[in-house]
Each structure stands twice: as structure tokens, then as C-alpha cells.
Structure 1
Amino acid sequence: MKQALWPQLIELVKQHVKPALGCTEPVSVALASAIARHHLSMTPDHIDVKLSPNLYKNCMGVIVPGTGVAGANIAAAVGALGGNHEGGLEVLKDLLPQTVEHAKALVAADKVSVSIANDCHKALYVEVTLTANGQTALVIIEDGHINVTTIKRNDKTIFALAEKAAIESCDLIKSQGISFKDIFEFSLHVPFDDIAFILQAKTLNNRLSEEGLQNVYAMQIGKNLQAQQQTGLLDSGLLSNIIIRSSAASDARMGGAVFPAMSNSGSGNQGIAATMPVVVVAEKFAANDDEKLARALILSHLSAIYIHLKLPALSAFCAVSTASMGAATAIAWLITGKYDVAEKAITNMIGDISGVFCDGASSSCALKVSTASATAYKAVLLAMNNSVATESDGIVSQDIESTINNLCYIASQGMQHTDQLIIQTMYEKHKSKQQPV
């Protein structure tokens, strides 16, 4: 065990696991807009938004919290008119109804323009320019959802992010040779007091799940499947409950609920996928043991981060799958306590759902959460009986590290053309319907 690195691993989790109100792509737009408004010091009469293709894709179909409508245009408008410029991923936490109505009027008057940034090669890029009375304020966020790199007022640069002196997350993993097994051992032995903060993931994501089961959001996947339990068409076992409670949280989040999710790697759905299956299983096997739950959650979230660091911030690959691999790791530990079962479970998942692609943030994300959560539990059950995909099966390799690297290499390099076709298809669909983004 690399015990000297434990403090850095804890900071890694804190960096990548944060509360987020609403889908983080339109929220990133809202944050850039709120910061620009702070520096403009007056209400804008026009907002211009330029986005990377992937971020554009993820703003098309998801409801912006507190507004009831989807799109980067409404996100930019409410951010400028009522966003908290210091709120980070909770920039829209305190929106007022009159602010929302003002923002909708601004959009309806065609005062908010949204386009794909020319020659943008970054996965995550937001550029927002506010204009009022001949004055302008521009903010750029790139590479991370809250990573502001440029602020300009009237074309004069007032902030430019200097090169970071601290070791980047992925460099920590690479340079120190941290392995999947190191993460497993860390999660089991790190002092409980140092990781107790992760219990907030249960609090936030469980509240979203309850909200999704009690009220009408998006596709109501969790709510409708729970209703099928009452008809007898779906059992009331552990697998069904994992699917229902996980998808209900995603329903609420993607449907515009005004409760934050605990995110993972910049995604609320990834945070839900890394949390809710673990919570459901822990309720059965760990009862009220907060320490055991905290260790399971830190194992799940850190495993998800470990895999996701090998991926682009946004791509054609649905990273709910890798977040659920974190959940599978934790579930395997909760039930068996064995590392080899966790390793086999992840191998099974890579042999199963590695081809799920991301076609933008929308209500149907809850479908993918339900699929990935179910696969996580199934993968563990198979691993417990030593049923595991082998190196003769597809991209599965001779060891867990090579298998993870194979998956991430294909997702990073091999799915670029797929990504372009997905974005083109979605853009043409929305263009034909003349829907705002």
C-alpha cells in the first residue's frame, strides 16, 4: 500500500466528487454567464454562447433546474440574470421565479444565440459573451466544468489562468503508479474520519431518488418500474430495487429537480451510478454501519475516478458505465470482502456494456443508469461464482489494468468518428424541428 499517498487520494476524491445542481453541461454555461454578468455590472441585452461539440450535445435535451425547459440558451439567460457567480456547480441554487420569467422573455426575444465554436478541438469548452450598452464581458471555461481560464471586459483581459503548479489528477495516478488494487486497499484501511465526508453522497443522491419516486420527472423510469412491482410483473428483490432507486434519482435530476446530486468526474449521473446501487446493497448487508458504507462509497467513487481519468472529459462513450464499475467494486466488497471478486466483476462489465454510447444529456440518461446499475450487480453475482470474461473475449485482456486501458483507449481514440456522427444526427434533428439549444 502507498500509504504516503493517502492524503492525495482523499483530495482527488474531494476534487472530483462535488454537489451539482442540474446537468453539469448547461450548468457550466450558466456559471460562465453568471461570472460574465458579475464583471459586466449591468443587465445584458444580448448573450452569445459558443460551445464545443460535445458540450453542445449535452445541452440539447436536459431540463435546466427551476425553469422547466431545456437548452443552453435558457441556462445562459438564467445564469446571467440570477446565477451565483461564486456558486460553482450550484450556480442556479437560488433562482427566483421572476428571474426565470425574465430569462424566458430574453430567449423568446431572440436575445440569446448559441452555436458550436469554430475549430474547437476541446471536449469541454464554453465561451459566453454578454453585451449591454456597448459594454462586453467574456468568460471562457474549458477542460473542466468550473475551470475558468479567461475573463475579459471590453476586450481587456482581467483574468487568465496560469499553468497549474500542482500535480494534475491523472499525473498523480500515472507518476505514482497507483493501481486499481491500491485503491481497493486504501478504501479498506484509510482512517474512517478522513473519509466520513463521502456519506454526503448517500444523503444527496438518496434524496434525489426519493424525489423521483414521489413526483413526476422526465421518463419516470424508477416510478413506473416501482408501480410494476405492485402489479407483480416485477419482483421486489435486490436487483429490482437497485434499478428503481438508481434510475429514479436520474429521473429527478434530468427532469429539472431543484435538489443537487453528488457528482463524480463532473457528472451527476455518474455520481448517482456510483452511489445508489452501493447504498441499496449496503442497506441489506451493512445495515446502519456508517463506517462500512463510507468505505464502500469511497471505494466506488475512487474506482470510478480512476477509470474516468483515462477518458476524455466528454466523448461518445457513456461514462455511467465506468461509474457503475465503481459501484460493482464496492458491491463485491460489501457482499464478499474479496478483491478478486471485485476485479472479476469489472472485467465482466467491460465485456458486457463497453459499447454504450453517449447521445447527449436527456431524460433517457436514466435508462442508461438503470442498465449500468443492473449490470453492476449481475457482474458481481457472476464473479462470485467465478464466472468471468477471459482474454479470449473481445477487448478483455490478461489482467484488470490492461482491460481497463483497452476500454479507455477505444473510447478515447476509436469513437471519435462515432461522436461526430452522433452530434451531426442530433444537430440535424433539432434544426429540422427548429428547437433552441
Structure 2
Amino acid sequence: MSKPENHALWQQFIHIVREEVKPALGCTEPISLALASATAAAQLAAPVERIEAWVSPNLMKNGMGVTVPGTGMVGLPIAAALGAIGGDAEAGLEVLSHASEQQIADAKALLHAGAVSVMLQQPCDQILYSRAKVYAGDEWASVTIAGGHTRIIQIEKQGQCLFMLDEAEAASQAEEARQQLAHSSLRQIFDFISEVPPEQIAFILEAARLNEALSREGLTGQWGLHIGATLEKQRAAGLLARDLSSNIVIRTSAASDARMGGATLPAMSNSGSGNQGIAATLPVVVVAEHFDASEEQLARALMLSHLSAIYIHHQLPRLSALCAATTASMGAAAGMVWLIDGRYETIARAISSMIGDVSGMICDGASNSCAMKVSTSAASAWKSVLMALDNTGVTGNEGIVADDVEQSIANLCALANHSMQQTDRQIIEIMARKAS
């Protein structure tokens, strides 16, 4: 019987997962700008004729090379244009889900007319920042998003402020969630998913449904670098074994192929990223199928994976030089271990081994190649699970890994929060030179 105080903590965990695990159509950085454009356009009576937009360096990094769903085009300008012309301002990260073929054509025409410009916001203290100013005749409206992909902080029309976020109140709510996670532990997350009534977490099964649909689409071979489809083809040719390990990598990378390649299917995201949601979901689903797990077992394993991924990512900047597919896959390692072994010690060992394996993987912007990083992270997760099941793994005598998994996570996050900030600036400089 769990203690009464645990139930309050469990409800906090459920609330956090509901806030951080949401459907998203397309890469969330360009989608954030599309949402700003759509919300600004909703303030005007006439069709948008011109768009000016400003974004943070990190949002520019993650938006310049990724395909916008349904358009076949990459980059922030088409996201801004389609958001203004065909976006649903009430749909959050699915802002482009109802854009029609005609609206896509109109957005491309706006682009070809030279009526869309996207610039760096300088100076910019926010990691996530986008501002869209849209014009229709003599009218204009502006929307600013900062601090989160859908966090609108200001709406302005013709110089008049229509909405201003109460930053103090919003900061207080965000701080409450941060404090809850900061004072929690992986052990508490493990206890939660082991004991919580299954009906309270059944909603997480939607992550399996959405991300499996993306995976099936990716296996058609039409999207991105078609890594999943290529590996499947090579498996049929006898160059890759048909086993659980290859299933995990193929089905996970296929979902990322479809998402990054512009498929018009939503991903269930984690911590504002579709790829993180995919990385936290598909390996667990594949292992659950292999062991013929029940829906309840799958729900508990997915909840462990997604909540562990949130717990680790919460200690990182929202965007950084560290590829967060790696930390999401640490959550997947936890979920897979739970399905096979069920012991906390094995989970801790697997996560520490992953930190010893893929901790140096950089994020060099959102693009089709993200599916490579997702596949690498999924493979690392499974390798670490197999090692942990054999009671072995990277120890506290090696590198940044500590004997305690919580300290291993803290060491990894310290790198991302401090020294890798310079790495991030260097990456952005390199990408900016390529784009110029």
C-alpha cells in the first residue's frame, strides 16, 4: 500500500507528462514560428501580404534545414508563410495540420514574391524565441513566442498591445514544475510506474499509436534519408540480421525519417521535440511486442520511458549542443529494462552505460540526418540494456559516469549547461556560414 503523500507526487508526475508529451506535426522549431504567424494573421481581417520574422540563434539552427510538412520545402520562411496563410492558431504544435493544397500553393507564391523575411533576433537572451509581424494592406499584427514552443508572451496590433503574458505568474507555475522534478528521483519515478493504477496512465498509449503510424509511413521509403527503409532492404538482402535489435533500430529510425522528411502525420513529442518522443516510444513498443506484453505493461513501460526522459531533459537547456535524442533514449532503455527485468538497479546501470556511450553526440540543427542520431541512440539503448541484464556496464571509474546514476545524469547535464554552450555557438557559426 503506497503512502498518501505519494498520491500527490503521482498526480504531479501525470500532470508533467501531460504537459510535456503532446502531438506535434513537423519539427517543433519551425512549427513555433508557424504558430506565431498564424496567431498574428488571426488578428487581421484581410489575407496576409507580407511577413517579417525574427528568431533566436538556436531556433534558426533547428529550423533552417528541416522539411515543413506537406510543402516539400525546408526552412523557416515557408513555415512562417504557411502558418500565416493556412495555420490554425488554436491548434498549438499541430498548427499546420489542416493546411490545404491551395493554401500551401499560396504560401509558396508569397515566398517566391519575396514577401517573407526571417532574421536573427539580436541580441537575444532566449533560447526559444520567435516573433512574426504580418501585414495586410495598412494593417499589421505581431506575435512573440518565447521560453517554450507555444508560449505566447505578446500579441500586438497596430501598436496596441492585445495580450501580454503575466511573466511572474507564468514563471511561478513553471518554477513549481521545475521544483517538483528537481526534488524527485529516478527511484520515485520507478516506484510510481510500478504502483500507479493503470487507468491513470492509459493515455500514454496514444504515444504508441501516433509514433507507430509515423514508423509505418517511414518504412515506405519516401521520406528523408529513408534510413529505416534502407536497413529493412539490406535485412532482406541478408546483410543485416532479422532480430529484435534490428527491429528496434529500423522501426525507430523510420519514424524519424517520416517526421523529418515532412510527412503530414503528427508525432507524439517529448519535451517539445518529436524526435525525443519517437526515441522514447518506439524501442519500448518493439520490445513490448516481442515479449507479448499487455496494454497495461506497455503503458507502465512507456510512462517510465517518457517520464525518465523528461526528468533528464529537465536538467538541460531547452535547446543545446547536446543531441537530446540520446537522453530520450535513456528513458527508452529504462522502459525496455522494466519490461524484461523489472529491477531498478538494472535500469540505473543501463542509463549510466548510455551516458558513457553517447554523451558527446552534438545537435547540429534539425534535418533529415536527425534520424541517424535517433537510430544510433536507439542502438545504444538496446546495447546498454543487454549489458545491464548481464550485470555489467560502464562504472564510476570511467569518464563522466559515476557509481550513482543520479550523479551520472548530473555530470552529463553539467556539460550541456556549461562547456557545451561554446560548442553550440560554434555550431551555429558554422551553419550560418553555410547559409550565407
TM-score when scaled to structure 2? Answer: 0.97
Verify the 8 A CA contact 2:54 2:131 in the aligned structure 1. yes
Aligned to 1:434: none
1-side partners of 2:43 and 2:151: how far apart?
Answer: 17
1-side partners of 2:247 and 2:176: how far apart?
Answer: 38
**Structure 2: tracts of 5 or more residues without a match:** none
> Does residue 264 of the first structure (1) align with residue 270 of the second (2)?
yes
Distance 1:140 1:168, change over 3 A: farther
Residue type of the alignment partner of 1:135: E
> Does residue 317 of the first structure (1) align with residue 283 of the second (2)?
no
> Does residue 251 of the first structure (1) align with residue 257 of the second (2)?
yes
Verify the 8 A CA contact 1:217 1:255 in the aligned structure 2. yes
Residue type of the alignment partner of 2:48: P
Aligned to 1:172: 180
Aligned to 1:358: 363
TM-score when scaled to structure 1? Answer: 0.96
Match of 2:154 among 150, 155, 162: 150
Q: Spell out the pairing of 1:229-244 with structure 2 (5 A cutoff).
A: 229-244=235-250
Shift, 1:134, TM fit = 2.3
1-side partners of 2:258 and 2:393: how far apart?
Answer: 34
Residue type of the alignment partner of 1:367: M
2-side partners of 1:41 and 1:409: how far apart?
Answer: 49
Distance 1:33 1:168, change over 3 A: farther
Aligned to 1:395: 400
1-side partners of 2:99 and 2:162: how far apart?
Answer: 27
Q: Count residues with an aligned counterpart.
A: 428
1-side partners of 2:130 and 2:139: how far apart?
Answer: 20
State the SS of the aligned residue for 1:43.
coil
2-side partners of 1:106 and 1:215: how far apart?
Answer: 31
Match of 1:14 among 12, 18, 30: 18
2-side partners of 1:49 and 1:409: how far apart?
Answer: 33
Cα-to-partner distance string for 1:4-36 (whole Å, 9 max, x where unaligned): 211111010000000001110111110000000
State the SS of the aligned residue for 2:131.
strand
Residue type of the alignment partner of 1:137: A
Cα-to-partner distance string for 1:64-98 (whole Å, 9 max, x where unaligned): 00101011000000000010000100000011111
Aligned to 1:423: 428
Verify the 8 A CA contact 2:250 2:375 in the aligned structure 1. yes
Runs (4+) of structure 1 exceeding 3 A deviation are: none
2-side partners of 1:169 and 1:407: how far apart?
Answer: 21
Shift, 1:135, TM fit = 1.7
Residue type of the alignment partner of 1:172: Q
Shift, 1:155, TM fit = 1.5
Shift, 1:288, TM fit = 5.1
Match of 1:196 among 179, 196, 202: 202
1-side partners of 2:82 and 2:345: how far apart?
Answer: 49
Residue type of the alignment partner of 2:219: L
Cα-to-partner distance string for 1:91-142 (whole Å, 9 max, x where unaligned): 0001111111111111111111111101102110011111222221110111
Aligned to 1:38: 42
2-side partners of 1:371 and 1:169: how far apart?
Answer: 31
Shift, 1:384, TM fit = 1.3
> Does residue 52 of the first structure (1) align with residue 56 of the second (2)?
yes
2-side partners of 1:347 and 1:172: how far apart?
Answer: 23
Aligned to 2:91: 87
**Structure 1: tracts of 5 or more residues without a match:** 432-437
2-side partners of 1:294 and 1:212: how far apart?
Answer: 24
State the SS of the aligned residue for 2:63.
coil
Aligned to 1:133: 137
Residue type of the alignment partner of 1:242: I
Verify the 8 A CA contact 1:169 1:309 in the aligned structure 2. no
2-side partners of 1:282 and 1:80: how far apart?
Answer: 42
Question: Alpha carbon RMSD of aligned pairs, Å?
Answer: 1.0
2-side partners of 1:309 and 1:266: how far apart?
Answer: 11
Verify the 8 A CA contact 2:354 2:381 in the aligned structure 1. yes
Residue type of the alignment partner of 1:48: E
Percentage of matched positions with identical amino acids: 52
Residue type of the alignment partner of 2:143: V
2-side partners of 1:56 and 1:278: how far apart?
Answer: 32
State the SS of the aligned residue for 1:218.
coil
Structure 1 stretch displaced more, 311-320 or 385-394: 385-394
Aligned to 2:331: 326
